[in-house]
Amino acid sequence: MPTTPEGLRMLLGAGTDTITDDYTLEQKFAEFRRLNLDFVEVPLRSTDATAQAETFRTLAAAHGLPIASAVIAEFVRLPDMPEAERADAVRRIADTALTAVDLGCDLVLIPVRVKPEEPERAESYAEGYAELLTATKQHGTVIAAEFVGGARPADAANLVRVVDDPRARLFFDVGNCLYAGADPVSDLRTLLPLVAQVHLKGGPDTPLAAMPLRELHEVVRSGGFQGRCALEIESPKGRQSLRDAVSVLRMYGLWTPAHEGNTTHAG
């Protein structure tokens, strides 16, 4: 994973779902390349992961962009499935995670909706989480839990701690923090040692430019953050929204293109 002590540059990527209007995948990859982003984050579904992966692989090669992170959204539904179906679902998700590894991903995101008042949800997630870690162990893949659906960062962090594996990490979404009624700056500072990647986006009623970006930058800088960031911008304005978001991050010092700084990759 990249490191960010003084003098080194934070890596920035974007998800293929970031431009949410009618641009094709080809146009999205071309825009990511034009903006000189460092990597791409892709969604993978167990139902058609192999076909998806081939499409992503072709586009990544054509545009010279590495695919570094994958999102397997169906993990979030595990606690809501009948127990008899859960084992098969986890096996499918594990196979999808291995497809992500084959694409070049060193990080797989799994969304979780943990609720302190329903501890059995965390137990179901923990069992599936452990199986994913086992399936990807030989590859050293980081499996990062992202709090979604109003789940609080601290509760997702507790899940990561329960799993107790150095590759079990937190995927910190600053917009989801606001949605859960939490403080993105305070929580990121507290949980930073667990964080593998940060999702940069606005909150339910807060555009990215109005987020506490200066304070977030100081947290990752002063904390010696070992990880990277990815933009998640959902807007019908598509390309322009992404360009504006990149400009905002540059203005607050959160990112500079590769030709303007130095990067390093840790093993």
- List, as one string, the DSSP characters of 138-174: GGT-EEEEEE-TT--HHHHHHHHHHH--TTEEEEEEH
Query: Based on the number of CB atoms within 10 Å of its own CB, is 259 exposed (0-12), middle (13-18) or buried (19 or more)?
Result: exposed
Tokens encoding 90: 């986890």
Length of the chain: 267
pLDDT in tens, 164-218: 999 999 999 999 999 999 999 999 999 999 999 999 998 888 889 999 999 999 9
Is the distance from CB of 88 to CB of 131 less than 8 angstroms? no
Q: What is the pLDDT of residue 1?
A: 46
**Phi and psi of 265, rounded to 5°?**
-125, 125
Tell me how crowded residue 2 is: count the other CB atoms within 10 A of its CB.
Answer: 19
Q: What is the pLDDT of residue 233?
A: 77
Q: What is the pLDDT of residue 259?
A: 65
Q: Does pTM top 0.75 for this prediction?
A: yes
Tens of each residue's pLDDT in the chain, 267 residues = 444 444 467 899 999 987 766 788 999 999 999 999 999 999 999 999 999 999 999 999 999 999 999 999 999 999 999 999 999 999 999 999 999 999 999 999 999 999 999 999 999 999 999 999 999 999 999 999 999 999 999 999 999 999 999 999 999 999 999 999 999 999 999 999 999 999 999 888 888 999 999 999 999 999 999 889 999 876 656 566 888 899 999 999 889 898 654 333 322
Q: Which CATH architecture has domain 22-196?
A: Alpha-Beta Barrel (3.20)
Domains of the chain by residue range: 22-196
Q: What is the pLDDT of residue 267?
A: 25
Residue 104: strand, helix, or coil: coil
